[in-house]
Structure 1
Amino acid sequence: MFRSYLRLLLFTFGLLAGIQVPGLVKDYSQRVEAHLFESREALDGFRQTAERFFDGDLQALLRHYRSSDDPVFNSDANSVESLMIRNELLENEWQALQGPWAQRTWHVLVQADPQLREETLNSYSYQILLVPEAVGWGIGAGFVLAFLVESLLLGIGWLILGGRRGAVKESWR
C-alpha cells in the first residue's frame, strides 16, 4: 500500500513539475523578445548614422569612432560595441526559439543564456497551463519520475536482499 501511495505521490510531483515547462519556455521567449526590441531600439540611432555616412555598416561607424582622437568618441565606440554584442546575442537567442517545440524546450532548459534564464526564473510564477503540450509534459514527467524512483528503490531493495523475495501472503481469503 505504501508503494502505491509513493508511486502516486511521485507521479503527482512529476506532473506538477512537468506542467511548468511550457510556461517557462513561453516566459523565456517573451523575455528574449522584449530585450531584443529594446536592443534594436537602442541601436536604431547608430544604425541611422551608419546608413547616412557608412552605407549602413555599423562596423565602419565603430572603426570611425575608434580612430578618433576624441575620448568621447572612444567612449561611445565602447558603448556601441557593447550594444552590438548584446543585440547579436539576443538575435541568436531569438532564432533558437523559432524552431520546433522540442528544440525550443531543449534550448531553454540546457543552452539558454544564463543571465536571461536567471531573470526568467527569478520572476517566474508557477502556473498551470491547460494546453495540450503542458498536459503532455506533465503526464510524461510524472510517469518518468515515478518509474525511475520506483525502479531505483526496487533495485536497491533487490541488492540488499540479494535478489530474494519472501512469499506474498494471500490477503484475499
Structure 2
Amino acid sequence: MFRSYLRLLLFTFGLLAGIQVPGVVKDYSQRVEAHVLESREALSGFQETAQRFFNGDLQALLRHYRTSDDPVFVSDANSIESLLTRNELLEREWQALQGSWLSQSWHVLVQADPQLREETLKGYSYQILLVPEAIGWGLGAGFLLAFMVESVLLLLGWVIMGGRRKIVKESWR
C-alpha cells in the first residue's frame, strides 16, 4: 500500500513539475522578445546614420568610428560594438524560439543564454497552463519520475536482498 502511495506522490510531483516547462518557455520567449525590441530601439539611431552615410552597413559605421582621430568617436565605437553584439545574441535567441514547441522547450532547457535563463527563472511565478504542451510535459515527467524512482528502489531492494526473491505463501482463505 505504501508503495502505491509513493508512486502516486511521485507521479503527482512530476506532473506538477512538468507542467511548469511551457510556462518557463513562454516567459523566456516574452523576455527575449522584450530585449530584442529594446536592442533594436537602441540601435535605431546608429542604423539611421549608417543608412544615410554607409548604405545601411553598421559594420562600416563602426569601422569609421574606430579609425576616427576623435577620442569620443573611438569611445563610442566600443558602445556601438557592444550594442551590436548584444543585438546579434538576442536575434539568434529570437530565431531559435520560432520553431515548434518541442524545439523551443529544448532550446530553453539546454541551449538558452544563461543570463537570460537566470533572469527568467528569478522572475518566474509558478502557474498551471492547461494547454496540450503542458499536459504532455506533465504526464511525461510524472510517469518518468515515478518509474525511475520505483526502479531504483526495486533495484536497491534486490541488491540488499542479495538477488533472492521473497517467497510468499498464499492462503486459500
With the shorter chain as reference, the TM-score category is over 0.9
Equivalence map 1:94-109=2 (5 Å): 94-109=94-109
Aligned counterpart, 1:24: 24
Q: Distance in 2 between matches of 1:54 and 1:171?
A: 92
Using a 3 Å threshold, how does the CA distance of structure 1 residues 53 and 172 change in structure 2: closer, same or farther? farther
Q: Distance in 2 between matches of 1:154 and 1:126?
A: 33
Q: Distance in 1 between matches of 2:146 and 2:76?
A: 56
TM-aligned CA deviation for residue 142 of structure 1: 0.2
Instruction: Normalising by structure 2, report the TM-score.
Output: 0.97
Q: Distance in 1 between matches of 2:104 and 2:172?
A: 51
**1:64 counterpart letter in structure 2:** H
For residues 111-143 of structure 1, give each alpha carbon's deviation from its aligned partner in whole angstroms, at most 9, with x where no partner exists.
000000000000000000111111111011000
Using a 3 Å threshold, how does the CA distance of structure 1 residues 19 and 75 change in structure 2: closer, same or farther? same
1:114 matched to 2:120: no
Q: Distance in 2 between matches of 1:7 and 1:89?
A: 43
Aligned counterpart, 1:66: 66
Aligned counterpart, 1:85: 85
TM-aligned CA deviation for residue 32 of structure 1: 0.3
**1:73 counterpart letter in structure 2:** F
CA RMSD of superposed structures (Å) = 1.2
Instruction: Normalising by structure 1, report the TM-score.
Output: 0.97
Q: Distance in 1 between matches of 2:49 and 2:96?
A: 30
- Unmatched 5+ residue regions in structure 1? none
TM-aligned CA deviation for residue 59 of structure 1: 0.5
- Unmatched 5+ residue regions in structure 2? none
